[in-house]
Structure 1
Amino acid sequence: MHIGIGLPIGDPTALLDWARRADAGPFSTLGLLDRFVYDNPEPLVALAVLAGATSRIRVQTEVLLAPLRDTALLAKQAATVDRMTGGRLVLGLGIGGRHDDHRATGVDIRTRGRRLDEQMRVLRRLWAGEPYGEGVGPIGPLPARPGGPEVLFGGFKPVALERVARWGDGFLAAAPPSWAGGLFDAVRHFWHEYGREGEPRIVAQINVALGPEALIDEARAAMHDYYAFTGTADRMAAGMLTTPVEIRDAITGFADLGADEVMLYCYGLDPAQVDRLADVL
């Protein structure tokens, strides 16, 4: 079982400290959320900086809202980060659900799922070194990983779970162990239905805060603000895991379900949480 760290977004200047601590510890991956109309760092830019400050740990978008971005530029950016990090980029992708993000980027929210599918056709073609289209050649560089960086899809609806089998390498599950098993089973069903070899990589996410009560309060407030638009922020913040026992039990629960990796997502800003979480492991 691999364990990653999901980075807080409240203070971009602190993330180098987080990344270096995680790189020196037992962690496999650094993850970063994406929003457009919000006070958060742009994930591909931020992760490129963090990758340059580390030597082995993977960097993962969690999830990047691909429909908000120009497809050709996204292909080039992702391939550049993947190539320059020696294949350490994991591209977690999703469609997003905020109207303000879509208005700010001029994207019709009603077509975001179809747009992502079309983007994947283009991304896979460009990452393979093929021309962009009629009269337009390839867009380099080629990524370090043949066929492009590893792609995970997040989501809950059947069309999102099926997308893993059609275009992806795995599934990013932001759901507790109590109901993630059904999502995992559905992803695996689609995977085999499409005749894919092997198994999809399953990455789970849990929200954690480990430290004094003030840090926990800060983390819950940050998480509540981030998810206020969903109408379920109270429940989500209340479900944050705040003790070593809770965190270990959740990791064990996901291991029992066959997850390959668990991302411990942090909202509190204290980078010493990296060391506390390392002690829990």
Structure 2
Amino acid sequence: MNVGIGLPIGDPAALLTWARRADAGPFSTLGLLDRLVYDNPEPLVTLGVLAGATTRIRVQTEVLLAPLRDTALLAKQAATLDLMSGGRLVLGLGIGGREDDHRVAGTDLRTRGRRMDEQMATMCRLWHGEPYGDGIGPIGPVPARIGGPEILFGGFKPAALERVARWGDGFLAAADPSWAGGLFDAVRGFWKKYDRPGEPRLVAQVNVALGPRQVLDDALARMHAYYAFTGMPDRMVEGLLTTPAAIRAALTAFEDLGADEVVLYCYGLDPDQVDRLAELI
């Protein structure tokens, strides 16, 4: 089972340090979240910079809120990053649930799932080199992988899980091991329903902080602020894993569930966490 690093968003200038350390270590992936109305770096731009500063590690949106974006431009951006990184882009996609994000983007929160499906149909055509349509030609470049970068979908509702089998390569589960197994089973069921070959790739996300007290306090405060919009940030913060034993237990639990990868998502800004987590795994 592979292990990735989820990057903190509070200090974009420091992410080059995080990326280079992770690239030199045992990690498989750099993950970065997406929001519009928030003080976070834009993920495709940021991951493009990080891909240029690294040599082997994959760069992953976790998750990119596709309905907020113009479809053709998103297809072009993703194909460009995938091509220029040597096929290292993993495009994790979600629909987003924040009304303020959708208001700023001028998109409808109520139809975001339908818009995502329409976007996937268009982007898949473009990534195969087909014309956009209505007398408009193809929109390149052609990505490194025929048909586009690897696609993961996040979400919890049946429509999101079914979307994995309809359009994707795998599933991104931001869920505790105690209930992630049910999500994995549902995704596998939809995969068989659509007669997809092989197995879906299953990727889990675990929120972690590892280090002295000030590192933990920093992570707790930043995570609490990020999830304040949910109305239950204390509940979210309770799930933050802060000891080697707890992190190892989560990795073992997800491996037992059949996960292909676990991304250890960090909220604290101390880049020494990369080295601590590398030693742990």
2:243 maps to 243
What's the Cα RMSD here? 0.4
Larger CA deviation: 215-224 vs 120-129: 215-224
Number of aligned residues? 281
1:27 maps to 27
Q: Secondary structure at the match of 2:151?
A: strand
1:87 maps to 87
* 8 Å contact kept, 1:151–1:170: yes
* Alignment gaps of 5+ in structure 1: none
Q: Which amino acid aligns with 1:204?
A: A
Matches within 5 A, 1:19-98: 19-98=19-98
1:197 maps to 197
Q: Secondary structure at the match of 1:229?
A: helix
* 8 Å contact kept, 1:220–1:238: no
2:173 maps to 173
1:276 maps to 276
1:210 maps to 210
Q: Secondary structure at the match of 1:86?
A: coil
**In structure 1, C-alpha distance between the alignment counterparts of 2:106 and 2:58, rounded to whole Å:** 32
1:13 maps to 13
Q: Which amino acid aligns with 1:259?
A: A
TM-score, normalised with respect to structure 1 = 1.00
Tell me by how many angstroms 1:214 deviates.
1.1
Larger CA deviation: 229-238 vs 185-194: 229-238
Q: Secondary structure at the match of 2:172?
A: strand
* 8 Å contact kept, 1:201–1:260: yes
Q: Does 1:228 align with 2:228?
A: yes
Q: Does 1:259 align with 2:259?
A: yes
**In structure 2, C-alpha distance between the alignment counterparts of 1:238 and 1:220, rounded to whole Å:** 9
Q: Secondary structure at the match of 1:114?
A: helix
Q: Secondary structure at the match of 2:145?
A: coil
Tell me by how many angstroms 1:232 deviates.
2.2
**In structure 2, C-alpha distance between the alignment counterparts of 1:120 and 1:232, rounded to whole Å:** 32
**In structure 2, C-alpha distance between the alignment counterparts of 1:231 and 1:133, rounded to whole Å:** 44
Per-residue CA deviations over 1:196-243 (Å, capped at 9, x if unaligned) read: 000000000000000011111110111111111112211111110000
Q: Secondary structure at the match of 2:90?
A: strand
Runs of at least 4 residues off by over 3 Å? none
Q: Which amino acid aligns with 2:160?
A: A
Per-residue CA deviations over 1:122-147 (Å, capped at 9, x if unaligned) read: 00000000000111000000000111
Q: Which amino acid aligns with 2:116?
A: L
Q: Which amino acid aligns with 2:2?
A: H
* 8 Å contact kept, 1:44–1:61: yes
* Alignment gaps of 5+ in structure 2: none
Q: Secondary structure at the match of 1:227?
A: helix
Q: Secondary structure at the match of 2:27?
A: coil
Larger CA deviation: 66-75 vs 226-235: 226-235
TM-score, normalised with respect to structure 2 = 1.00
**In structure 2, C-alpha distance between the alignment counterparts of 1:64 and 1:254, rounded to whole Å:** 23
Q: Which amino acid aligns with 1:152?
A: L
Q: Which amino acid aligns with 1:213?
A: R
**In structure 1, C-alpha distance between the alignment counterparts of 2:147 and 2:166, rounded to whole Å:** 14
2:151 maps to 151
Q: Secondary structure at the match of 1:204?
A: strand
Tell me by how many angstroms 1:21 deviates.
0.1
* 8 Å contact kept, 1:173–1:205: yes
